[in-house]
Structure 1
Amino acid sequence: MLIEEDAYHAFMPYPAVSVENAPQGPLSGLTLAVKDLFDVRGYRTGCGCPLKLAASREAETTAPAVQRLLEAGARFVGKTHTDELAWALYGMNPHFGTPVNPKAPDRIPGGSSSGSAVAVAAGLADIALGTDTGGSVRAPASFCGTWGLRPTHGRVPLAGAMALAPSYDTAGLFARDGATLLAAAGALMDPDPVPLPEMPDLLWPADMVAQLDEAPRAVLEAAFGTMPSREVEVYPEGADAAYAAYRVTIGAEAQETVLPFIRRSGMPLARGIDGRVAAAAALEEAEIDKARATRHAFAAHLEELLVDAVLLAPAVHAAPFALDAPDEVLDGFRHDAMRLLCVAGLAGLPQVVLPAGMVEGAPCGVSLIGPRGSDLSLVALARRLAPEAHP
C-alpha cells in the first residue's frame, strides 16, 4: 500500500508499487482505494483468500474499471480488504482480520467491500472501488456512513476482477459525499442511456418498508416520508420467494466460478461460507430453472414499475451488529438483510445509498433504486433529495 498509516486495517499490506495516473482530469486531487478483487499492475490479487493470494502473481495489466479512474486523474493509494472470495456480507475475514468501522468501532463494517468502505469513511481515500453481487457495496456504505453506488448490471466492465456470480456482479463505488460519488461515477461510465426526468415519480415500497426494525424505519421516514410518493408493492410473489430465487441463482453461478477453485485447492471453509458452498453444491437443475423463471418475472415487474420512477427504499433492515454478537445473530442477520438487498440485484438495477441517520450509535443509510441505465441521474437525484439538502 502507498499510505503510511492504516489504523483502521482497511488496506492489504502489500509492498508499495507506484501506479501511474493522469496528471489532470475530473478526479485530479482525489485518492483511490481498490478492492483486492481487481487486478492492479504490479500488485497481486488475493480475493480475501490465502490460497488465492499464494497462487497469484503480480498483475501485468490493470483492470479496465480501475484504469478509467486512474485516467480521470485519481491517485491510487492501495488495495483494500475483502471477505473471502467476496462471498459474505459482514466484512469479517477469518484469515486477514476485520477492518475497523470508523463510525462504530464496536460494530461490523459490512462486506464484502469492507476495506473500501472503511478507507473512505476513515478519510484514507476519497473514493474507493468495490464490487456488489448481493449487497457488498450497499451494506457497508450503510454501516459505515458513506455514499455508495451499485451500478446497473453490465454498465461497468469487470474484466480483471474475480467473478462470483456474473449475472449479478457489478463494480461499485464509495465516497463521503454525493458530489464526489457523482464525479467518480461519471468517470467510470458513459452518459446515461436512459436518464431520469428532472423529477421522476417517487414510489414508497410498502413491502420493503414493512421489513424494517422500528428505528431504521424512523430514519427512512425522516429522510423521505414527507415527500409526495405513491405506495407500491415490490415483490409480486412475496419477499421470501424473491430471496429464494436470489439464493438459488447465485449458487448456480457459483458452481461454475468459485466452487471449482474451492474443491481443487482443498481450502478450509470458514463458518458461513461453508453453508453457502454446501447449498450451492446441492442445487439441482429443476430448482435452478424455477428460480430463474421467478427472477425473470420479478425483473419484468420492476421494469414496469420503474418507468420514469424511483423507489425510496431502505438499504438494510437494521444497524450493523456488534463484533461480539452471538452465533444466532450472525446466522440470521444476513437473511433479513438480503430480502431487501436482493431487489436491485435480481433486476440488475442501479441503487445509490446515502447516509441518513444513526441507529443504536451506528450509521444507517437509505437508498434510491432506479430503472436500468439511470445511474448518473439517480445519483444526481439522490443529492437533491438527501437529508442534508433539506435541513
Structure 2
Amino acid sequence: MSAFLQSFDLGATENAHAPTIAIKDSIDIAGYATTAASRALADAPPATRHADVVQRLLDAGWRITGKTNMHELAFGMTGINDFSGTPLNPQDAVRIPGGSSSGSASAVGQKRVDAALGTDTGGSIRGPAACCGVIGLKPTFARVSRQGVAPAFTTLDCVGPFARDMRTIVDVMAAIDPSFQASEACRDASSLRLGVVSVTADDEIASAIAAALARAGLATQAVELVSMQDAFAAGLAVINAETSRAFGHLVDSGKLGADIEARLRAAANTSAADLDAAERVRRAFTDEVDRALDRVDVLVLPTLPALPITLEAARAGTSVIAMSSLIRPFNLSGHPALTLPVPLEHSTLKAGLQIVGRKNDDETVCAVAAHIEARLAHPV
C-alpha cells in the first residue's frame, strides 16, 4: 500500500535539511517515465525535461524524494489501484485514500515528506486531502504552469500542493508560482468576511464546519449558489470528454484496470450537445460565484459531504460520485479552492473545510486558512 511509485533523491544535495517534496506521477521529472500509475503507460520513455513546476521547486532549494502513486490515469476518486497498489489512508487504514492524487495525500499524511504536488481536475487534490486529513490547494485555473503535466490539454486541471500546515503550502506556492505573494498569503485575516454556502452534508460534517467557523471568529453571512448541482454535472461532462480525448486510445489495449476501461468507454459517449450545455453552465456558475465574491472575501463550505467510505464498500461497488459534488463545481469555474482539516467531535478523524476565493486571489484563500488553522490550534 505504497504512497510512492518510485523513490529517489533529487536536488538540494548540499543541504541535508532542505524541505522534501514528492511529485504525482502525472508530472514529468527528467529521467523518469510518467506512467500515471497505469500498466498501459508502463513502458513510456523517460521524460526528457522537468515539468516547469519541478524545475521551479529544484531552483528554490526543495529536495524531491520520489514520484507518488495515484488513481490510474487520474480518472477516479477512490484512489484504489490494483496495478500499482492502493496508498494507505493515514487517518483510517480501512477507508479509501481518495483520488486521484492518492499517493501525494498519503505521503504527506504519513509524514514521509514535508509536501507533495498533485493535480486537481474534478477534486483530485481536495478530495484525497480531505480523506487523509491534510491540507490541499487547487490554485486558480492556469495560474500555475502545466507544462510537462498530463494530460496536455485541459480546461479544468490545476497543479497544486499538499502539506500538513499552511506555512508549507505558502512556501510551495511561492516556489511553483512566480506571481504568488507570500506576504499577502500570511497577512492578518481577522477583518475578512466569509460567505457560508448552503449545501447538504452529513450532520457530523456540518457540525464540524460550523464549530470551526465559530472558533475562527470571522464575520459570516449566508450564501446560496443555486447552480451548484448543474455545475457538478457540467464538470463531469467536461472531464469525461477531455479524458476520453487524452486516453481513449488506450481502450482495448488490455492493459487498463476494469474501472478505468468502463469509465473511458462511457466517457466516449459525451456528445457535442452535452459539451455545449456544459459550457453554458460554466458561464452561468462562474458568474454566480463571482457575484457572491463581490459581497464577501471568500466562500466556505464542506469539502466532502460525508466521510470517505471503506475500501471494502468501494470494491463492492458503492458509488463515490457524490464525493465530488462540492468540489468539482469549482474546477468548472476555475476559482482557487483549498481544503483545511478540522476536528470532528468524538472522533480521531478530520473533516475538510473548503475555502474558495476570487480568481487569482489564492493568497487570500491561504490567509483565511492560516487564520482558521491558528484559531483551531490556539483558541482565543
Same-fold status (TM-score > 0.5): yes
**Which residue, 197, 206, 223 being the options, matches 1:205?**
197
Shift of 1:82: 0.7
Q: Tell me the equivalent position of 1:183.
A: 171
State the alpha-carbon separation in 2 of the partners of residues 287 and 343 from structure 1: 16
Shift of 1:221: 0.7
Which residue identity does 2:21 align to in structure 1? L
Distance 1:234 1:390, change over 3 A: farther
Shift of 1:172: 1.2
Contact 1:192 1:373 in 2 (8 A): no
Shift of 1:23: 5.2
Superposition pairs of residues 71-90 of structure 1, within 5 angstroms: 71-90=59-78
Q: Tell me the equivalent position of 2:19.
A: 30
Superposition pairs of residues 1-391 of structure 1, within 5 angstroms: 9-13=2-6, 16=8, 18-21=9-12, 29-54=18-43, 56-163=44-151, 166-192=154-180, 198=189, 199-206=191-198, 208=199, 211-225=200-214, 227-236=218-227, 239-262=228-251, 265-271=253-259, 273-307=260-294, 309-325=297-313, 330-332=317-319, 334-358=320-344, 361-386=348-373, 387-390=376-379
State the alpha-carbon separation in 2 of the partners of residues 38 and 124 from structure 1: 19
Q: TM-score of the superposition, structure 2-length normalised?
A: 0.90
Contact 2:137 2:339 in 1 (8 A): yes
Shift of 1:165: 6.3
Contact 1:145 1:365 in 2 (8 A): yes
Aligned residues: 369
Deviates more, 1:125-134 or 1:306-315: 306-315
State the alpha-carbon separation in 1 of the partners of residues 378 and 364 from structure 2: 17
Distance 1:120 1:74, change over 3 A: same
Which residue identity does 1:11 align to in structure 2? F
Q: TM-score of the superposition, structure 1-length normalised?
A: 0.88
State the alpha-carbon separation in 2 of the partners of residues 358 and 298 from structure 1: 31
SS at match of 2:251: helix
Unaligned ranges ≥5, structure 1: 1-7
Deviation string 1:314-370 (CA, Å, 9 cap, x unpaired) is 111111111211666x442x2212211122111101111111014765331212100
SS at match of 2:325: helix
Contact 2:51 2:146 in 1 (8 A): yes
Q: Tell me the equivalent position of 1:5.
A: none
State the alpha-carbon separation in 2 of the partners of residues 191 and 130 from structure 1: 20
Deviates more, 1:75-84 or 1:243-252: 243-252
Which residue identity does 1:20 align to in structure 2? G
SS at match of 1:340: coil
SS at match of 1:171: strand
Deviation string 1:10-45 (CA, Å, 9 cap, x unpaired) is 11146x4x5234857xx9621010111111112111
SS at match of 2:156: coil
SS at match of 2:326: helix
State the alpha-carbon separation in 1 of the partners of residues 72 and 353 from structure 2: 27
SS at match of 1:341: coil
Contact 1:133 1:165 in 2 (8 A): no
State the alpha-carbon separation in 2 of the partners of residues 286 and 337 from structure 1: 26
State the alpha-carbon separation in 1 of the partners of residues 173 and 6 from structure 2: 27
State the alpha-carbon separation in 1 of the partners of residues 82 and 328 from structure 2: 25
Shift of 1:281: 1.1
State the alpha-carbon separation in 1 of the partners of residues 325 and 359 from structure 2: 20
Unaligned ranges ≥5, structure 2: none
Which residue identity does 1:122 align to in structure 2? Q
State the alpha-carbon separation in 1 of the partners of residues 229 and 110 from structure 2: 36
SS at match of 2:82: coil
Contact 2:357 2:364 in 1 (8 A): no
